[in-house]
Amino acid sequence: MSKDTNLMNDCAQSPAPCSVPLPPTNAEVITTVCDYCIVGCGYKVYRWPTTMTQGSTQAATNALGLDFPVTPLSTWVSPNMHTIVKHNGTAHHVLVLPDREAKVVNVGGDHSILGGTLAQKCYREDGPTKDRLKTPLLRVNGTLQPISWELALDIAASIGRYVIDQHGAQAYGIKSYSYQYFENTYAISKFAFRHLQTPNFTFHDTPADVTSTPGFRDAGFDNFAACYEDWRDAETLLICGTDPFETKNTIFTQWIMPGIRNGQKTIFMLPRKTAGVAFAEDNGGLWLDVTPGTDLLVINAIARLIVENQWQDKEWIKNWVNTKWESTSGFGQGTRNTPWQWRTTWGKFQTDGFEDWTQWLLDQPEFSLENAAKVSRVAPEKIVQAARLMAAPRANGNRPKTSIMIEKGLYWSNNTGNTNAISALGIIVGAGGRPGQVIGRGGGHQRGGVRGGKYPRNMSPEKLPGRRRRALDTDRYFISGHTRLAHVIGTTWLQAMSGTYQLRDRFEQLVHNNPHQITSTDRDAVIDTLKRRADSGGTVVINQDIYLIDPIGARYADLILPAATWGESPFMRANGERRIRLYDQFYDAPGEAKPDWWIIAGIATRMGFEGFDWQDASEVAEEAARFTRGSRKDFYPIKIVADKEGKSLHDKMREFGTEGIQGPVMLQDDGQLIGTKRLHDINRKLPDSGPAGVNRFTKKLTAFNSQTGKLNLQKSPWSLFSDYWEWLSPQKDELWLTSGRLKERWQSGFDDKRKPYLNRRLPENIVEIHPDDASTRGIESGDYVEVFSDRVPGHKHTLLGIEADDFRFSKLMENGHIELTSAKVRAVAHVTPQIKQGVLYMDFLRYDAPANALSGRIQDWISGNYNYKMSVARVHRIGESPYKHSFEHFSFARRDLA
C-alpha cells in the first residue's frame, strides 16, 4: 500500500482537520446509491490508483471542478468520505460523495450523516472493517476454521437435501432480509418457494411471511404509492409513528421542510419529541404526544370529529369509495374479499360504505373526544386542532390538501387496528391518488425484494379453525423444536424479534447444547454429524453474512458463508418513491466473499435443482424482471429495451445514472421508457399499446388495489386489542417502553460500530427517560441503568395453532397458551423532556442490548405481526457510566431542538 494508507488511518482516527486526497481530472466516476435508509440518495464514487498523481486544490486540476477550501454549505470532502480499496487487485483511492448534480431525491447533493460515512463501510484490510468475513468457515470443536467453497457448498447442500427428504420441507427454515437487492432476494425466494417449497420462511422483520400494513392492503392502498413531492405539496401532513428527520433525514430536509416553510401544517403523532417535531411546532404544526398503543383511539376521535362536522371529502367518497351494491354485485371487491378478512375475521371489519362506517364510528363510546384524550393522554384541544387542520374548509372555502405518512411506531403496536383506522381516516379526507393528497409509508429500508415464487401456503401446518392455512410462524416453529435446519441470511434473527431471550435460549438448547458437534473437517464426518443432530431433534445452522455480528454467527452457526455486499457487486434496488437504480460495483469483495445469489445458486445446483446456472448478476436480474410484472417495481420493460439494443439489463440501467426510473416502468409506442411518478394517480394516462405482456400489467395500477379500483372503508374495533393493552399497562413502578431508530445508527449498527466517527457518538444503547420519572428513581444522564421486565408474554413451546375462535389476549391467558418470561438489558440513561412522561425510549436493535428482548412475543392474531413498539419495564440505577463526565462519547443534548 502507498504512504497514503497511514495518512488516512490517522485521518480516520483523529478529530483534528486533515488533508483528504482529491481525485485527479481523469479519475473514474461510478454511480451508486446510499446503502442505508429508504430515501436512497444518489452518490458518485471517484476512483483512481494510489500510484496516480492526486488532484490539487485548484478547480482545473481535480475531478470535482472545485477550488478548495470551499465556501460554507457547498460541496465538501471529509475524511469519512474517503478510503483505500482494492480494484482488480491493486490499491485505489475512492471518494464516495453525494451527487451534487442530482435533480431528484437528494437534490443538489444533500445527504444524511450515515450517507456521509459510506466510504467507511467499505472493506479495508488495514482498517476497522478488516474483520469482514473473507472465506467460508466451519465450526470444529467449537472454533471456526476456514474451509473451501467447494466443501462449504457441498456440506450445505447435503444436509439441506437430507433434512428435506427425512423431515419434510417445513423442517428447512429460512430467515432472510427482504431488502438487500433484487438479484439476491429473487435467488433466495426462488430457492425457497419454487424448489424447497418450504413455508418455514420469513423476512428479517416479521415472524411470518405477512404484510406489515394489513389495513392498507384491505383498503386498497399501496405502501409506496406517493412520490417525494407529495410530502412537500400537502397543505396538511399527518406523520404517525416516526420523525423523518431522525429516520430518513433527506426526506425531511429536502421534501418536508420546504413544505413547512411554505405554510404546510405538519402534525406528528408519537410519544417522543425530536427535531422534526420541534420544527413543525415552531411553524404552526402539532405534536400529538400519544401514549404507546392508544393511536387507534386518537385516529378515530379525529375521524369522528370530521364526520360530526361534515368536513369529509364528499365528492371523493362518492367517486372512490365502494358501496354496498358494489361490494355484493359479484364484480366489486368490497370488504368481504379483501386479503385479510376472508381468511381470518369474517365480518369484524366489513362495512357497507361510508354511511355504515360512519354509524359504526359514532356508536363506539371509546372514540369520543373525552375518552380518547383521557386514555391516550393527548390534550383534547390538540385532537380537535388536528381534525381542523386535516379537513376543515379554509377561509377561501377550499378543502386542505391532506397527506398521511405512517411508519413502524404506528403499525407495530396495534397492527391491524391501527392500519385499518388510519386507512379510513385517509379515505375520508381524500388522501389518495392526487398531488399532495396521498397516504403511504415513510419507509425504513429500501425496497429490494423480488419474489421468485409464490409462498407455499398449502404446506403450512398452521391453520385457524374454519379458515384456510396461514403463513407459518418461524419463531414459534423453531421454539417448538421443529426446525431442523435454520438458514439465516443477512439478518440478526435473535435481536430483531420480540422476546429475544426466549428465542436465544432455544438456540442454546437445540444447537449449542446438542451432543452432536463437529470434530473434524472431513466431509463425510461433518455431514454425518449434522444428520445425527437433525435426527436427534436438534438444529443445524447455516449463516450467510458479512460479519460475525450476533450469536447466530458468533456462537451457533455450524457453517458461515461470507457474502459480498454494497460496492462489491452490481445490484439493483428501488427507493421509497419506487425509483429503480443500479448500485454499481467499484471495488473487489474481500477475500473469497460472494454475492448471496451466487451462494444460493451453488447450494441449489448441488441439491439437484435446475435453473440456477447464472453467469453474472445481470442474468439474475433479467430473470427476475419477469416476476416484477404488475408490481410497483415492474422493470420488465427495461429488459425488453435492453434486449432490443443488444445490452445486458445492468448495462441499460447504468444509463439512468443516479436518477434511475420510477416503477412501474412502461414502454411507449415510440419505444421510450417512462416511469410512474405517483402509483395511484387517478389522472395518469397509460400508453394504449406496446410489446405484448408489458402494458397490460401496468394498466391496473391506475386506480387502487382492489377489484373495483375503488377504496374500502374498514371498521377498527378497539375491543380486539384493548384487553391486551389494559393487561400490559404499567403497574407499580413500571413505565411504558418503546423503541425506534436513531439518526446516527443503522439497524443493528453492524458497520456503524466500525466507523470511529459514528461509534464515538453512541457506543452503547441509551434509554431516554423523562426528568420526573428519573428524579423519583435517582437517575441522572450518564448513569448505567438496568431496564428490566418480568412481564414479557410469550407462547408455550408446543403452541403451533390455537383451536379457538376467540384470539383475545385474555382468552389466551385463560386457556393457558401464554407464559410470562423475564428480560433485562443495560443502557446509558439520557434524562430529557423530549420523551413523554411515563414512557421510556431505546434504540431498537442494538445487538449488545436489544430493546426487543422486553417486547412480548404476542402477535396481532389477525395479521401475524409482533407488537414490537409496545412493552413495559422497570428501570433502576446501576452506577455511573464512563461517559457521564466525558464529552468524547455520547451527547446528552436534547434532540428536540429545531
Residue-wise pLDDT tens digits, 242-273: 999 999 999 999 999 999 999 999 999 999 99
- Mind listing the pLDDT tens digit for each residue in 394-425? 988 899 999 999 999 999 999 999 999 999 99
The average pLDDT across 846-874 equals: 90
Residue 530 CB neighbours (<10 A):
28
Please check the confidence at residue 104 and state whether its pLDDT lies above 90: yes
pLDDT tier, 687 (very low <50, low <70, confident <90, very high otherwise): low
3-state secondary structure labels for all residues of 168-187: CHHHEEEEECCCCCHHHHHH
Please check the confidence at residue 18 and state whether its pLDDT lies above 80: no
Q: Hey, what amino acid is at 328?
A: T
Residue 458 CB neighbours (<10 A):
9
pTM of the complete model beyond 0.85: yes
Q: Taken in order 372, 375, 381, 382, is the CA torsion positive or negative?
A: negative
8 A C-beta contact, residue 218 and residue 716: no
840 by DSSP, 3-state: which?
strand
b/e map 808-843, b = 16+ CB within 10 Å: bbeebbeeebbeebebebbbbbbbbebbbebbbbbb
Please check the confidence at residue 2 and state whether its pLDDT lies above 50: no
Within 335-414, residue ranges assigned H as helices are 354-363, 369-376, 380-391, 408-411
The average pLDDT across 757-779 equals: 94
8 A C-beta contact, residue 519 and residue 140: yes
Q: State the DSSP H helix or E strand holding residue 475, giving kind and residue range, or none if neither.
A: helix 474-479
Distances in Å between the Cα of 583 and the Cα atoms of 91, 92, 121, 250, 676 are 21, 19, 15, 19, 20
Of the chain, the end-to-end C-alpha distance in Å amounts to 45
pLDDT tier, 801 (very low <50, low <70, confident <90, very high otherwise): low
702 by DSSP, 3-state: which?
helix
Residue 693 CB neighbours (<10 A):
12
Structure confidence at residue 809 (pLDDT): 83
Structure confidence at residue 699 (pLDDT): 52
Please check the confidence at residue 614 and state whether its pLDDT lies above 80: yes
3-state secondary structure labels for all residues of 242-300: CCHHHHCHHHHHHHHHHHHHCCCEEEEECCECCHHHHHHHHCCCEEECCCCCCHHHHHH
Q: How far is Cα 742 from Cα 776, in angstroms, rounded to an integer?
A: 27
The average pLDDT across 24-37 equals: 97
Q: What mean pLDDT is reported for the chain?
A: 90
Q: State the DSSP H helix or E strand holding residue 95, giving kind and residue range, or none if neither.
A: strand 90-98
Q: Which of 824, 764, 817 is closest to 790 using CA atoms? A: 824
Of 583 and 748, more confident: 583
Please check the confidence at residue 607 and state whether its pLDDT lies above 50: yes
Of 751 and 812, more confident: 751
Of 188-202, 330-344, 443-457, the least confident: 330-344
Q: Taken in order 707, 708, 711, 714, is the CA torsion positive or negative?
A: negative
Instruction: Transcribe 536-582 into DSSP letters.
Output: TT--EEEEEESS--SHIIIII-SEEEEBP-TTSS-EEEE-TT-EEEE
Structure confidence at residue 338 (pLDDT): 43
Burial tier of 22 (Cβ tally within 10 Å: 0-12, 13-18, 19+): buried
pLDDT tier, 863 (very low <50, low <70, confident <90, very high otherwise): confident
Q: Which residue has the cell 411506531?
A: 409
- What is the CA angle 423-424-426, rounded to 5? 65
Q: Provide the β-strand partners of residue 707.
A: none
Please check the confidence at residue 804 and state whether its pLDDT lies above 60: no
Determine the angle formed by the axes of helices 719-728 and 415-428, rounding to 10 degrees.
Answer: 130
Structure confidence at residue 9 (pLDDT): 35
Q: State the DSSP H helix or E strand holding residue 402, giving kind and residue range, or none if neither.
A: strand 402-406
- Four-CA torsion 704, 708, 713, 719, nearest 10 degrees: -100
- Mind listing the pLDDT tens digit for each residue in 39-79? 999 999 999 999 999 999 999 999 999 999 888 877 889 99
State how beta strands 871-880 and 783-795 pair.
Answer: antiparallel
3-state secondary structure labels for all residues of 405-424: EECHHHHCCCHHHHHHHHHH
Distances in Å between the Cα of 485 and the Cα atoms of 200, 457, 492, 609, 726 are 10, 20, 17, 18, 39
The average pLDDT across 158-187 equals: 97
pLDDT tier, 807 (very low <50, low <70, confident <90, very high otherwise): low
State how beta strands 28-33 and 42-49 pair.
Answer: antiparallel
Q: Which of 448, 569, 565 is closest to 30 using CA atoms? A: 569
